[in-house]
Structure 1
Amino acid sequence: MAKYICTLCKYVYDEDVGIPEKGIPAGTKWADLPDDWVCPLCGSRKKDFELMEGQASAPAPAKEKKPEPKVISNNASLAGSVKVPAGYGDDDLRALSYAEAAVLCSNLAKGCEKQYLFEESAAFKEISDFYMSKAGKVEGTFDDLMALIEENLSTSDEALRIGKKSGDRGAFRVNLWNNSVAKILDSLLKRFTDEGNAMLENTNIYVCDICGFIYVGDEPPAICPICKVPSVKLLKVRRD
């Protein structure tokens, strides 16, 4: 029997084992799972799974290997200190909005907390709160959110490759979290497009306080599938 892996959180569905605690007995074939079945760990759709390597199936077409982006220092004032990808320069830089600065500092605070740098985390949290107080209410539609996620995903793979090549573990980790969380959020939003409000009825929503992972379900997973913190860090969203 075969195994299928979630491409977003790496959860493995084993046909031999099933998920008895979820009412799926051992021996249940992948094809027999309902089309609206979702990953029990991250909530992604069935179509976000793929057959694990080494399992019996028709061979998948070979994926074209993307060339590594060339990394250069194209700003004399940054030479030897900061590397930017080829094709990017000062014209690509812009000032952050208050809301963007708040989110950036909030993420830095959470990253510091993950590394047990509590003093630094508190400082970034204070700065984030200041910028958020200046930002006011952020307006937007569902379509605006989808567009932001698509824009994020269009650049996140490149950012991940650059972070990995740089040898900076912190940069690589933050880009890895961003890449994974954005893909899961994209899957959840597409589920919502298909299912509507029924997706959120009689269930809960949890958000990881460290990496931003969002989970829709009765109880959160034991650990965050993205940053591996325990479920105590997955905070239940109030729906007043």
Structure 2
Amino acid sequence: MRYICQICGYVYDDEKEKVPFEQLPADWKCPLCGAVKSDFKPEVPKTEVKPVSVNTEAADLKKLSAGQLAAVCSNLARGCEKQYKSEEAGLFNELAAYFTSITQAVNDATVENVAKLLQEDIDKYPTVRAVADQNKDRGAARICVWGEKVTRMLSSLVNRYLNEGEAMLADTDIWVCTVCGFVYIGETPPELCPVCKVPPYKFEKIEGRA
């Protein structure tokens, strides 16, 4: 039996490993991305992509909040930076700063609510990915792959925090990939980002935690 990490794609093959997956301890973690054992699922055969019907009428479109627009503009700025378009990046950063300044405080920003919202995002990815594959949009498909992996890791970390509390963050550091947003907990960043494969110097250490 082969078990696949739902975050980075690492494969644990019972036939090649000394210990069967089911016999691994409960606190075992993915050697590549640090995901917990429960983030692994048995490998299943790939199925043919079925056509997906998507309603694109304006009435179904959702108006983005100021905070969401800030995140979009910030991501667009990073994209421009990677293409060495400094002027465009600066403009998007200005927009991101503006939308951030008018973003209203979130009153129910509990860890439990964050976990719920992350799971809602994860549930949407199969449909979005199916639409991308159906239209042979490689760029959108790649975004879906990266986005789902990063979201799954965030969900995994949040659920770990709900179970372990502050002990989860004791004597360790938090690193964020500046390319794809992948979050890694450890003394040093991974040798390669499990999602986008960039080297460790692309990771930023999150400072200022109490």
Q: TM range, normalised to the smaller chain?
A: 0.7 to 0.9
CA RMSD of aligned residues (A): 2.8
Aligned equivalent of 2:199: 230
**Which residue is 2:35 aligned to?**
44
Residue number in structure 1 paired with 2:67: 99
Segment of structure 1 superposing worse, 87-96 or 142-151:
87-96
Compare relative contact order (CA 8 Å, sep 6+) and give the higher one, 1 or 2.
2
Distance 2:133 2:97 in 1: 31
2:51 is the alignment partner of 1:68: yes
User: Greater shift after overlay, 134-143 or 185-194?
Assistant: 134-143
Q: Does 1:126 align with 2:109?
A: no
Aligned partner of residue 95 in structure 1, secondary structure: coil
In the TM superposition, 1:83-162 aligns within 5 A as 85=54, 87-135=55-103, 137-139=105-107, 140-162=109-131
Q: Partner amino acid for 2:63?
A: A
Query: SS at the partner of 2:179?
Result: coil
Distance 1:122 1:16, change over 3 A: farther
1:181 to 150, 157, 177: 150
Cα separation, partners in 2 of 1:49 and 1:157, compared to 1, 3 Å: same
State the SS of the aligned residue for 2:176: strand
**Contact 1:39/1:46, CA 8 A, preserved across alignment:** yes
- TM norm structure 2: 0.83
For structure 1, the residue ranges without an aligned partner over 5 or more in a row are 19-26, 53-59, 71-84
**Structure 1 vs Structure 2: percent identity of aligned residues?**
39
- Using the alignment, how far apart are the partners of 2:15 and 2:168 within structure 1? 29
Q: Distance in 2 between matches of 1:94 and 1:50?
A: 33
Is there any run of 5+ residues in structure 2 with no aligned partner, and where?
none
The code of the aligned residue for 2:11 comes to V
Contact 1:157 1:179 (8 Å CA) reproduced: no
Change (3 A) 1:109 1:167: farther
* Structure 1 position 17, deviation (Å): 7.8
Counterpart residue identity of residue 80, structure 2:
C
The number of residue pairs the alignment matches comes to: 208
Letter in 2 for 1:210: V
CA deviations 1:174-208 (Å, max 9, x no partner) are: 22222111112112222222222221111111112
Partner amino acid for 1:204? D
SS of the residue corresponding to residue 44 of structure 1 reads: coil
2:189–2:203 CA contact under 8 A, matched in 1: yes
Q: SS at the partner of 1:227? A: coil
Report deviation, 1:90. 1.5
